A and B are shown apart, each in its own frame.
Chain A
Amino acid sequence: MGIFGRIREGLKKTRSGIMGRLESLFSRNIFDDNFFEELEEVLIGADVGVETTLEMVEKLRRLVREERPGEADRVVEMLKGLMLEVLGEESSGLNLAAEKPTVILVLGVNGVGKTTTIGKLAGRLRAENKKVLVAAGDTFRAAAIEQLETWANRAGADLVKHQQGADPSAVLFDALSAARARGSDVVICDTAGRLHNKTNLMEELRKVRRVVEKALPGAPHEVLLVLDATTGQNALAQARVFNDVAPLTGLVLTKLDGTAKGGILVAVARELNIPVKFIGVGEKMDDLQPFNPTEYVDALFSPLT
């Protein structure tokens, strides 16, 4: 089963999927105020957020008024189009450096799945025959280093680590030196989870980024923010602040195999214009997939068959 099959499966299981509601909504073929209001609820229920939803529904209203579509299918297409306008139609791959190593910095608040994402990403890159080195930059959380070590072993990647409590900048500095010495293609840097409103921790992150840049001019080539699909509107605040501290090049949306739709993506993409690069749909090594906006929107809006 494809990943979007899996998302659909998730939607089916709860019977609260967007489509379950949309189907009954669209089967009416009457596009009045009630229709749009209910549509608002559907989008808000998918965590798209009030502001983005209101804007999108307003645009849809205008389109419907202009075009006067007769069928629900056409309205679905319009809505999909509006979402894709925001998300971008193409999937975007990883930025690889012209000269190796490519350095990927992975950030996020606590518990979104940074370490797991790094493990899976390392596995993906290894499958493409790249030499991968992971840097255990989460020196704060108990056993974070061991967790990353397990994933590195599974993926067949090198690991550079210090002790728990060590300076994360020092770990990453060493990792970059090691990567150059060993001729690694890609270095993936883990960082400790931190809430974006903790000034000190965000300053630490700023420093980490600076040290990476100093150790290897041009790095980091990718700064990925990991977002949890179950997170609500706070994800927007997270993206804003992290983007300010370490300009982001991409997003990873994890835990899409549950019943959460991750609609906050739309709000984040709308405001910050950062592409979503990967989605996490499970706990296994190959459960990290490139994000394809068209498929994502289709999965949200396609009938449950």
Chain B
Amino acid sequence: MVFESLSGKLRETLKRLRGKGKLTEKDVDAALREVRLALLEADVNFKVVKDFISQVRERCLGKEVLESLTPGQQVIKIVNEELTRLMGQSAAKLNQASSPPTVVMMVGLQGSGKTTSAAKLASFLKKKQHTPLLAAADIYRPAAIRQLQVLGEQLGLPVFQLGQQDPVTIARAALESARKNRNDYLIIDTAGRLHIDEELMGELQRIEKAVSPHETLLVVDAMTGQDAVNVAKSFHEKLGLTGVVLTKLDGDTRGGAALSVRSVTGCPIKFAGLGEKADAFEPFHPDRMASRILGMGDVLSLIEKVQTSFDADKAREMEKKLRSQQFTLEDFLDQLQQVKNMGPLNQLLEMLPGMGQMGKKLKGLTVDDRELVKVEAIIRSMTKKERLNPDIINSSRRKRIAAGSGTRVQDVNNLLKQFDMMQKMMKQFGKGKIKGRGKFPFV
């Protein structure tokens, strides 16, 4: 779960700051020491952490916190604001050439996911009615060109290649071809290389000179550790990056590299890779990611995702229910049906507010998709009355439901317990505002 552990850690720490009238300097330091460890464990580079902590400390020690009525709120607000500031405020768009084609160059270390991201980006653009051309300029890794071709075929995208020729020649010819065929985007996949490999870095500089890309995107594995800083810095110094693609965010990494890279290059993270399928690729929302770190959940992303898969009316209705706490098992079942259209469950769950917290308490909710079938069977074995008011489900009803759904009473118990916790969570969430700053659901 993205940033789950980091959120968990931060929440633990911040919880301790709750309920006190005033914060002492000692309190702030104790809390920030924990925040520091949490960030380090999340792989945020130690220098970045240092800066972050000192900034937050400075702000916390001002009267803002000490004289405020609810100090806990203030600290969270400050940590959140500083994190958001560090990550960049809003989603960044892809640069566009004044006269097409817009040239995008993908660069990065080996295995960061350049080829896959290039194909995903092209597919993303195609969906927006653009006509991208992919160019295969990784002439070193065996079958890298073939990989791009196969992906191109699968996605119905043209792929330009000249075999193992000089990548600079390939890039130039690809640009020619894009112009001739009126492709409005040219996406160049380059070979993975070490940032300290002078020769190969020189090759990238030559490609850059030859085709003057409008976007030079560094592809970074979200699992990268402390070294992310060195990598990003070198690539940025040599090529002048314009953005970052963060890949493998569907893993359970804490993803501190995102903060590191952002802070040493100043470049926005433009896209996030979230899975192996071509559509598991989204514009990166740094503000939401920062709030996710703080455990507020990525409500905005959820609603957006819901809107593309649900019809708009249903989405509005659900959002209302979420907010007004009238969310019943019936709705839950209804949602399950729609969830099936929305992709893997884990991805959705992590967007829910408080899921970081929930996930830890309820291992059962980080379910694999087969679990859905079971859950559905259990709910379907309930009467309508039971679904609307689960409190009436006593032990004999439980036995009946278990028998009816071919599960065990334990499973029924688990589901009811989970649902109960979920409702509580929704309640907390309903009391908070999504956008309003300063009012947080868990303070």
Q: A: which residues have CB within 8 A of B?
A: 10, 13-14, 16, 41, 44-47, 49-51, 109-113, 119, 140-144, 146-147, 149-151, 164, 195-200, 228, 230-235, 237, 255, 257-261, 264, 283
Contact = CB atoms under 8 A, between A and B. Distances in A.
Given A44-B40, A197-B346, A258-B194, A228 B111 contact: yes
A117 to B, nearest CB: 11
Given A50-B41, A109-B251, A146 B221 contact: no
Contacts of B257: 232
Given A14-B196, A195-B248, A233 B346 contact: no
A14 B226 CA distance: 13
A225 B369 CA distance: 26
Nearest to A199: B368
B227 A44 contact: no
B252 A258 contact: no
B111 to A, nearest CB: 3
B112 A234 contact: no
Q: Which of B151, B221, B226: most chain A CB closer than 10 A?
A: B226
A41 to B, nearest CB: 5
Interface string B363-395: 000001100000000000000000000000000
B226 A232 contact: yes
B227 A258 contact: yes
Given A231-B221, A231-B223, A258 B109 contact: yes
B183 interface: no
Interface of B: 1, 37, 40-43, 45-46, 109-113, 140-144, 146-151, 154, 194-196, 221, 223-228, 230-231, 248, 250-254, 256-257, 276, 346, 368-369
B52 to A, nearest CB: 14
A214 B171 CA distance: 50
Given A44-B46, A109-B248, A110-B111, A141 B147 contact: yes
Contacts of A234: 43, 223, 251-254
12 contacts: A109-B248, A110-B113, A142-B151, A143-B143, A144-B143, A147-B144, A147-B146, A149-B143, A197-B251, A230-B231, A234-B251, A237-B252
Contacts of B369: 200
A233 B195 contact: no
B1 A197 contact: yes
B223 A232 contact: yes
A264 B113 CA distance: 21
A239 to B, nearest CB: 13
Contacts of B147: 141-144, 146-147
A260 B227 contact: yes
5 smallest beta-carbon distances between A and B, as pairs: A232-B225, A111-B111, A232-B43, A150-B142, A199-B368
A33 B12 CA distance: 27
Nearest to A280: B110
A143 B196 contact: no
Given A113-B110, A231-B223, A232-B223, A197 B146 contact: no
